[in-house]
C-alpha cells in the first residue's frame, strides 16, 4: 500500500517538523561541507514546497555519534549556514532541539521561516526512542514530514516515534527514493543488471539474493571481486579474501546458471606492490596472474570496457559500490569509465546506492545524469534486500 506523501497533507500555515539527514563529514572541516552537500541539496524541494505553503519549517537531524552528550565539534550551526546559502534565505540554528527556549523561539516564527534544531543525538532519548523525548520533539509542530531516507532503517525517536503523535507523511526526497527503487525492484525494464563493488561481499549478500531472480547480468568489481576470484581458484595476492563468503560466491555462480543470469568478473586488474596511493610498483595483469604479496586495487582497462559494453545493453541498472579503491586517485579509473558510460546512456533507469557510491558519483559530476542517486547507504542496501524500513513503515498509508 502506498504511503501518504507530503502533497497529500494539509500543511498550509502550519508548523512542520521535517526529519532531514544532514550527517555530512564535518570532521574534514567546515569548508568541506560545500563539497559533500548532496544531502542538503536533496532536501531543498521539500523545504521550498513548505515555504510556498507558508509553513514554518522546523528541520531536525543528527550529526556524527555524540553518544547522547553535547559535543561542540558536532553542532549543526555550520550546516545551517551552508543551507542558508543554498536556499537563499535565512536559516536560524538553535542551540538545542527540545525545551522551553526552543518552543518559545518557534512560537515567535512567522510563515516561511526556516529553523534548524540542534543535533538530535545530543540527547540519549533520540537513539533509545524514549517516549519523553518523542513527546517533547512532537510538541514543537503540528505536522511531521519524514525526508531522511538515510536513517529510515533506524527505529529512533525522530524517525518512528513522532509519527505516533503528529499527522505524518513522506517528504519529496523520501518519496523519490521509494518510488525509484520500488520500480527497479518490482517493475524493471529489461534487460536488467546489478553492478556490485565496494569492499565486502558480506555487505551485499542479501541484496544479491533478493535480486538474482530478476537479473540478466550481475557485474562484480571492487573488493567483492577478490572473494569471487578466489572462489574460482584464481590468485589474489595479498588482497583480503572473505574466506567465510567463498561458499556464497560459489552458490551465486552456480545459481545464476540455473536462472539465466550471467555473472561477469574482471578479466584484468590493476595491482600494486603495496596497499598505498604511491606504491613502489603498479602493474596491469590478467585475471590469473596476480603476483604473490601484491594487492588488487582496481579493475583493469579491458574489464572496464567489457563491463561498460555489457551495461550498455541494459535498460535497468542498479549500482552499489566502486570498482576499485576509489578514494585513492590512482585507482579510480575503472569506476570513472563505468560511471561515465552509465551517465551517457539514453532511455535507461539507473539507480545508484548511497554511501561511497554516491560520493564517487558526486565527485565525478554525473549525479544529475543518473535517474536516481540514493542519499542512504545502509537504508538503500536494506531496501534492495527487500526489508521493511521502520521509518517508512511507521508512516500512514495513503
Query: Is the backbone of residue 4 left (phi > 0), alpha (psi -120 to 50) or beta?
Result: beta
Residue tagged active-site, from 80, 300, 339, 355: 355
Helix (H, G, I), strand (E, B) or coil at 329: helix
Q: All 3 cell numbers of residue 278? A: 604511491
Percentages of the chain per state (helix, strand, coil), in multiples of 5: 45, 15, 40
End-to-end CA distance of the chain: 7
Q: How many CB atoms lie within 10 A of CB 85?
A: 13
Distance in angstroms (rounded) separating the CA atoms of residues 15 and 239: 53
Q: Determine whether 39 is an active site residue.
A: yes
Which residue of the set 41, 234, 378, 387 is catalytic? 378
For residue 72, the tally of other CB atoms under 10 A from its CB is 6
The partner residues of 60 in beta bridges, in order of sequence, read: 19
Q: Are 299 and 326 in contact (CB under 8 A)?
A: no
The catalytic residue among 200, 214, 234, 302 is 200
Cell, residue 212: 538474482
What is the distance between the alpha carbons of residues 284 and 107, in angstroms, rounded to a whole number?
64
Cα-based distances in Å from 251 to 56, 205, 231: 54, 11, 10
Residue 355 a catalytic site member: yes
What are the Cα distances from residue 166, in Å, to 15, 141, 394? 11, 8, 12
Write down the catalytic residue from 3, 39, 175, 204. 39
Number of DSSP helices (H) and strands (E) in the chain, helices first: 15, 15
Q: List 282's β-bridge partners, or say none.
A: 272
For every residue of 148-217, DSSP letters joined together read -GGGTT---TTTTGGGGTS-EEE-HHHHHHHHHHHHHHHS--SSEEEEE-SS-STTTHHHHHHHGGG-SE
Cell numbers 558510460: residue: 341
Q: Which residues are catalytic?
A: 39, 200, 355, 378
Amino acid at each position: 500500500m502506498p504511503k501518504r506523501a507530503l502533497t497529500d497533507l494539509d500543511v498550509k500555515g502550519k508548523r512542520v517538523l521535517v526529519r532531514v539527514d544532514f550527517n555530512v563529514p564535518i570532521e574534514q572541516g567546515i569548508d568541506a561541507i560545500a563539497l559533500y552537500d548532496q544531502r542538503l541539496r536533496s532536501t531543498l524541494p521539500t523545504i521550498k514546497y513548505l515555504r510556498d505553503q507558508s509553513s514554518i519549517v522546523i528541520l531536525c537531524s543528527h550529526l556524527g555519534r555524540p553518544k547522547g552528550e553535547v559535543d561542540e565539534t558536532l553542532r549543526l550551526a555550520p550546516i545551517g549556514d551552508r543551507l542558508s546559502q543554498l536556499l537563499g534565505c535565512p536559516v536560524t540554528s538553535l542551540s538545542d532541539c527540545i525545551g522551553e527556549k526552543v518552543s518559545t523561539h518557534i512560537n515567535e516564527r512567522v510563515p516561511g521561516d526556516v529553523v534548524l534544531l540542534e543535533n538530535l543525538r545530543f540527547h540519549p532519548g533520540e537513539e533509545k526512542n524514549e517516549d519523553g523525548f518523542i513527546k517533547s520533539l512532537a510538541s514543537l509542530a503540528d505536522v511531521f514530514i519524514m525526508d531522511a531516507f538515510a536513517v529510515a532503517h533506524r527505529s529512533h525517536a525522530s524517525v518512528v516515534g513522532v509519527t505516533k503523535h503528529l499527522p505524518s507523511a513522506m517528504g519529496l526526497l523520501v518519496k523519490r527514493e521509494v518510488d525509484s527503487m520500488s520500480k527497479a525492484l518490482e517493475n524493471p525494464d529489461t534487460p536488467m543488471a546489478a553492478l556490485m563493488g565496494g569492499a565486502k561481499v558480506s555487505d551485499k549478500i542479501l541484496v544479491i539474493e533478493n535480486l538474482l531472480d530478476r537479473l540478466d547480468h550481475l557485474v562484480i568489481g571492487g573488493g567483492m571481486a577478490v572473494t569471487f576470484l578466489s572462489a574460482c581458484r584464481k590468485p589474489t595476492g595479498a588482497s583480503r579474501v572473505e574466506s567465510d563468503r567463498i561458499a556464497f560466491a560459489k552458490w551465486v555462480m552456480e545459481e545464476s546458471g540455473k536462472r539465466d543470469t550471467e555473472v561477469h568478473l574482471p578479466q584484468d586488474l590493476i595491482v600494486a606492490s603495496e596497499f598505498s596511493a604511491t606504491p613502489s610498483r603498479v602493474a596491469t595483469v590478467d585475471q590469473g596472474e596476480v603476483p604473490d604479496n601484491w594487492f588488487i586495487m582496481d579493475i583493469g582497462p579491458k574489464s572496464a570496457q567489457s563491463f561498460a559494453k555489457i551495461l550498455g545493453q541494459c535498460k535497468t541498472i542498479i549500482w552499489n559500490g566502486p570498482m576499485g579503491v576509489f578514494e585513492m586517485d590512482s585507482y579510480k579509473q575503472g569506476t570513472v569509465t563505468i560511471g561515465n558510460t552509465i551517465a551517457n546512456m539514453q532511455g535507461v533507469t539507473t539507480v545508484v546506492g548511497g554511501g561511497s557510491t554516491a560520493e564517487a558519483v558526486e565527485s565525478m559530476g554525473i549525479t544529475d545524469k543518473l535517474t536516481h542517486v540514493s542519499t542512504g547507504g545502509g537504508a538503500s542496501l536494506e531496501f534492495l534486500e527487500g526489508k521493511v524500513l521502520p521509518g517508512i513503515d511507521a508512516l500512514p498509508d495513503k
